Chain A
Amino acid sequence: MTATTTDNVGAPILVIGGGISGLSAAVEASEAGHEVYLVERNAYLGGRVVQLNKYFPKLCPPTCGVEIHLKRLRTTPRVHLLTQTEVVGVAGGPGKFEVELEKTPRGVNANCTNCGECVEACPKERPNDFNYGMDETKAIYLPYGAAFPARHAIDFDHCDRDSCGKCRDVCKVDAIDFGGKVETETITVSSLIVATGWKPYDANKLEELGYGKFKNVITNVEMERLAAVDGPTGGKILRPSDHQAPKVVAFVHCAGSRDELHLAHCSAVCCLASFKQANYVLQASEDATVRHFYIDRRAPGRLEDFLQELENNERATFVKGRVAKITEGADGAVILHAEDTLSGQKVEFTADLAVLAVGLDPEAKDAGFPSGWLTDEQGFMVGNSSSAAPGVFATGCAKRPAEVSACVKDATGAVLKAHQIARRG
């Protein structure tokens, strides 16, 4: 790809993060005539969104929205896509940033046709991070069915390279390359759009809630993968202990959220995500029931309809009270301890499966960005092109917890700010 600067729109724009926000920003900037570097840490684009089963409130598949973006990406000539790449250094200022990138080798070149024979041949396994470690893939793997770039990748932490070489032997198109090294590259850009997004809060830190201790306590992001057809269970929601479909599912809202000891902020989307997941359970089985334990139910604006619809379902019940503790009952059952504050009674509710609605932990917090790039106390980036970091625009969940549609709009706004800098030169 070569830069087309015929429109005189100045130096390229760097977008850090290829999730829904970064992807949106990249295609919007590109379509506006800018040359764009899109840097993504993973081997594929789409970030957290492609790990979701469905969007709320329409319950449509996320790949739909992502595919439109990918189509735009494929048809615009101005995006330099750099996967498995991280920003390791930033110098300069608005109009002329020198950004150092570090690219780790994929091990599979563009010849790859996704035939999958290498996977058959590979003797080694790795935990599948796309499914939050609930299953394994081979050391050579396709990140997920609709991955873009549509190409396999090798996890070199689990690969024996030349001493094994089985994938290379079966590959008919000569796509395997064990020799790749970590490479650094410095690019010059006019501005930066930071779309580093979030990761689920580490549920292992929620000691009282028994995650990691009791098999049938899972997180909301794991629930998305369990419900997804390309997930570890082929789309059947099965509880981890005995692979049976749970009849009673409890949703633990604000698991570690709005909690000084964990994430002090409200992650804004978990309420709706939990209501959405209740729909997964209710639709999967006629006799399944769900119970939500909440502090407040935050379904702003039109989204309240989605909540009301669930409230009207007699198989869904709600308890106002934070789950303070989870213990284990007989046969893998989990017992949730809370006070139902509306009746003033302590309750011990026995469920087959408990789903912790863990919050959004901003990646920007530990990204090692320059100290001038201000973050708030929770690690979300502050403001757009602040005086401390001119020419740096945060967008999407790097800035604050938000649902997909808001992120997409926000990314478009960030592009306009980047555009102004690029124009000024």
Chain B
Amino acid sequence: MAEDRKVIRSDLDFVRRIVQSGGDTVKQCMQCANCSVACELSPKDRPFPRKEMILAQWGQKEELINDPDIWLCFGCTDCSILCPRGARPGDVLAAVRKEAIREYTPMGGVQKLLESPKYLPVLIAVPVVLWTLIFLLFGDRHGETSYFDGIFPPGILEPLLGVMTMVGSLIFAIGAFNYWKSLMKAHPAPAGANFISAVAAAASDIVSHAKFRQCEAGESRALGHMLMFYGFSLIFIGGSIVGIGFMFGMLDLPLPFFHPLKLMLNLGALGLVIGTILLVKYRLTRPERQTKGTWYDWFFMYSLLLTGVTGVMVEAFRMLDIQTVAFGVYFIHLVCVFCLLGYAPWSKIAHLVYRSVALVHAHYTGREKAGAPQ
């Protein structure tokens, strides 16, 4: 029955990329499925990550990037801790997630620049040139106006960041749409599925961070991630409001310290810095058998951390009225902001979008109900 035969074609390039992106141990897997049981989040029906391990070994790219389960993993690495072969399923899934981001995001090739430190000079050069140009073209180089609102005029900066955010959001929206379409084709929802309640359930998962707390074998990342997530959200939302408010002439910059928006931003910065430090510490203290960080991850973590730290420093120096230092740090801060936001659609930060889409899909198709923790 030749027509019934399914020929499995391996995408060896895909396997190679998994191996190079932290999944170097993928071929250690002997399919014992210890991981599927070790995982508290894995559903009873078609649990992960055992099946993903063999799909990755066999280079089954299509199945993997359309597999919403890769996002149901929150990277607690319980599976890796208990893996009898040191195959690190947790890291393999992280590598697959990275590949999914590359696949669905427009201009996915940009991701290559984020995969190796050798491209770091390029990544930094872009904002350095950009901000230098803006300073040269629009800045007050004679120091007649006080502060960097003269050096980097908000009138230029805020609209530029606004445009960047909108372009980024558009790229994200296209990626999310591509991914949703692809997921629905591979795993359609059953009749009568309720989209609105799926969105609500996914939102509740994200807001509560409940899944982060279910790892058992290892230390929880819940607190660190929560602080970072809420800190980032406060800054992103607060910053956007400030930007819009300024452009429409409703706010004068810089804001006074006790302005509610300023308080919101400072609170966010505090959460971001503390949360990120906790996560960096977590990553640095994990044994390599449990998880081996990748440059792709570290670039994201350090961008976040440096953005937060330089942001706080700028504020401090400004309040201390040490203008030249404040200017220098502000320049670095702007470079960090660009590294964080400018490359966001291809970087690890994109998990925010793709994981959300996958969670909505999981609730929409009933996958997540099946996966309710026992």
Contacts and interface: CB of A to CB of B under 8 A. Distances in A.
Do the two chains belong together in a single complex?
Answer: yes
Interface of A: 208, 254, 258-262, 295-296, 321-322, 324-325, 337-339, 341, 344-346
Contacts of A254: 32
13 contacts: A259-B84, A259-B85, A261-B82, A295-B31, A321-B33, A322-B84, A324-B33, A324-B36, A324-B82, A325-B38, A338-B37, A344-B47, A345-B46
B51 interface: yes
Contact of B37 (A260, A295, A344, A346): A346
Given A260-B84, A261-B84, A346-B44, A341 B33 contact: yes
B154 to A, nearest CB: 56
Nearest to B51: A344
B86 to A, nearest CB: 5
Interface residues of B, number: 21
Nearest to B28: A260
Nearest to B35: A324
Contacts of A321: 32-33
Given A324-B38, A345-B45, A338 B33 contact: yes
A322 B31 CA distance: 9
B133 interface: no
Contact of A346 (B31, B32, B36, B86): B36
B30 interface: yes
A421 to B, nearest CB: 40
Given A338-B33, A339-B33, A346-B37, A208 B44 contact: no
A344 B38 CA distance: 15
B82 A346 contact: no
A359 to B, nearest CB: 12
Nearest to B86: A260
Centre residue among A208, A261, A296, A346 by max chain B CB count within 10 A: A346
Interface of B: 30-38, 42-47, 50-51, 82, 84-86
B30 A208 contact: no
Nearest to A260: B86
A201 to B, nearest CB: 13
Nearest to B79: A324
Q: Which of B36, B38, B43 has the most CB of A within 10 A?
A: B36
Nearest to B36: A339
A35 B46 CA distance: 64
A320 to B, nearest CB: 8
Contacts of A324: 33-38, 82
A258 B84 contact: yes
A259 B87 CA distance: 11
Given A324-B34, A339-B50, A344-B46, 5 more contacts: A258-B32, A260-B85, A324-B33, A324-B38, A345-B45
B37 A325 contact: yes
B47 A346 contact: yes
A322 B82 contact: no
A364 B32 CA distance: 29
Contacts of B33: 321-322, 324, 338-339, 341
